[in-house]
Amino acid sequence: MSFIQILVANLPPLLEGMGMTLLLTLAATLLSWVVGLATLATQLSDSPFIRIPGRLYISLMRGTPALIQLFVIFFTLPLIGLGGLPMLAAILALGLNSAAYVAEILRANTRVVGIGQIEAARAIGLSPFRTWTRIRLPQLLRASLPALINEFTILLKTTPLASVVAVTELTYAGQLVIARTFESTTILLATAAGYLLIALPILLLAQRLGLSAFKQAGGRA
């Protein structure tokens, strides 16, 4: 069979896997923003009892492979009665991992909102909460957008790890097709193309909009 024929014959499971990859990426991204913001809050606290645990969390998450974090979460969940949920383990692992990076990205940009603005907000009687939601956060997020887009694509590149706990995302879906058809070249190229199909438009759009954060940080195991 030709390349195209093999591809067409096995397209449905691959597309399903791609959907799963997207779902995993989006769910983990959402989690990473929520936990990332909470972690940022710990870092801005005056109390060392809040700041140091937050720092430790960031350091641990950035200092160990995501693959191990996934395994640790995967083997911990059954202990709290949530066994047999690989997708949950994957979302938690990828999301909690990415959260540490999101917190660092945001922290690096907190200075974009000058002290003058915060004082002005207080002077006109805005509560600290409103100062955050109306003044600081919008500017902070805008300044962090390139790095956050970059982090999103890195998270996408981390999702194949979920295949080791048998989540049928794109990479694992491809492996299952290969196990059945032995067409490793075609299917692996299709798998690779699937990731490019998701990531390239985002990267190119970011470049076009001047939001490219082509800096450091590779993938993450």
Binding site residues, another protein, CB under 8 A = 59-60, 62-69, 71-72, 75-76, 153, 156-161, 163-164, 171, 178, 184-185, 188-189, 191-192, 195-196, 198-200, 203, 214-221
Kindly state the smallest distance separating residue 20's Cβ from another protein, in Å. 14
CA angle (52 as vertex; 59, 122 as ends), nearest 5:
115
Minimum distance from residue 70 beta carbon to another protein (Å): 10
Nearer to another protein, 40 or 156 (CB): 156
Q: Tell me whether residue 39 or residue 186 sits nearer to another protein (CB atom).
A: 186
The gap from C-alpha 101 to its chain's centroid, in whole angstroms, comes to 9
Tokens of 77: 């969940």
Please report how close the Cβ of residue 215 comes to another protein at its closest, in angstroms. Answer: 7
Record the tokens describing residue 183, joined without a space.
Answer: 């067409």
Nearer to another protein, 41 or 203 (CB): 203
Least Å distance, CB 42 to another protein, is 19
Report in angstroms the alpha-carbon separations of 6 from 2, 13, 139, 181, 185.
Answer: 6, 12, 49, 9, 10
Q: Which DSSP state fits 136?
A: I
Tokens at residue 150, please? 């970059």
Closer residue to another protein in complex, CB, 131/153: 153
CB of 35 to another protein, least distance (A): 18
Whichever of 33 and 74 has its CB closer to another protein, that residue is 74
- Rounded Cα distance, 71 and 64, in Å: 12
What residues have CB less than 8 Å from 165, skipping those under 6 apart? 70, 71, 74, 86, 89, 90
